[in-house]
Amino acid sequence: MSNSRHVPVMLQRCLDLLAPALERPGAVVVDCTLGLGGHSEALLGRFPEARLVALDRDKEALRLSGERLAPFGERATLVHAVYDELPDVLDRLGIPAVQGVLFDLGVSSMQLDEAGRGFAYAQDAPLDMRMDQTTGISAAEVLNTYAPGELVRILRAYGEEKQAKRIVSAIVRERDKEPFTDSARLVELIRDSLPQAAKRTGGNPAKRTFQALRIEVNGELTVLERAVPAAVKALAVRGRIAVLSYHSLEDRLVKQVFAAGAANTAPPGLPVVPERYQPRLKLLTRGAELPTEEEVAENRRAAPARLRGAERIREDAE
């Protein structure tokens, strides 16, 4: 197993954010995005009293992480699940509340590095992009079967692609001749369909389209919309949550959930705010924290990362 390729992003800062909640005996921490287990291994190492529950929808990631975390024995429980299934997972395990939750969103190093998965636009591979390859539709099916208007919406909403109409016109023209099966043909088509000015900025011109397809194939934002509020709800009082996101859509969603939890919900004009309207969360980061220049120099995949943290300070109002 090649762990050398997997460098956990903003690892030290995540551990420090969660530390006050996890240094207590009997603490349970959930790693909602296990991947290759870098964050999980560090959590178990730093907090020797803590128990870990780790989720991933990718069976290969679970297998590899299982090997990596085997030395921790029964302290680590690995579960094949998507992270919005967190309430069901905790229920099955008989865990009423947890002290820590970590999300490291986006694509794991393993998925990017395994050529056959079709996540990376830098190498030719089948257009799959499913994080769980046992279920759902592939990126090729999305490209070949979605209506043009729907493809434009996906590229704009999930990839923030300004040239969505131009790219989709080319996709529709080409898929009528021959369905899409591999990433190289799509990358070439995107390059050919963009104006010169659009190709000069923002790295690989296919990046935004690939991001949009990946989000659509895996339902990432829909899942995240359910998962972050569910994770906040699962926190015990004084429990903490840390979320690493990699593009503005994810970060905006996390920001909204945290801001809502940190606001009082009282009707305006009350002289004293009753307990049930008081904030449930305290924000632990001022805005989103960014990786240091040193970290980005060592690990280029850390560059787009945004970290937000919050602490549960009150139970939900009944």
Using CA atoms, how far apart are residues 302 and 91, in angstroms rounded to an integer? 34
Structure tokens at 269: 């004009």
Place of tokens 């309430």: 87
Residue in 59, 195, 225 with CA at minimum distance from that of residue 130:
59
Q: Which residues are annotated as a binding site?
A: 37-39, 56, 83, 104, 111
Question: At 114, is the secondary structure helix, strand, or coil?
Answer: coil
Question: At 49, is the secondary structure helix, strand, or coil?
Answer: coil
User: Residue 263, Cα to own-chain centre: how many angstroms?
Assistant: 24
Cα torsion 23, 26, 27, 32: sign:
positive
Using CA atoms, how far apart are residues 32 and 219, in angstroms rounded to an integer? 16
Sort 165 into a burial class: Cβ within 10 Å, 0-12 / 13-18 / 19+: middle
* The residue type at 120: A
Q: How many CB atoms lie within 10 A of CB 29?
A: 24
Q: Which residues are annotated as a binding site for S-adenosyl-L-methionine?
A: 37-39, 56, 83, 104, 111
Residue 225 near residue 198, CB atoms below 8 Å: no
Give the neighbor-by-neighbor strand order of the sheet with 306-312.
76-80, 51-56, 28-31, 98-104, 235-245, 306-312, 281-283
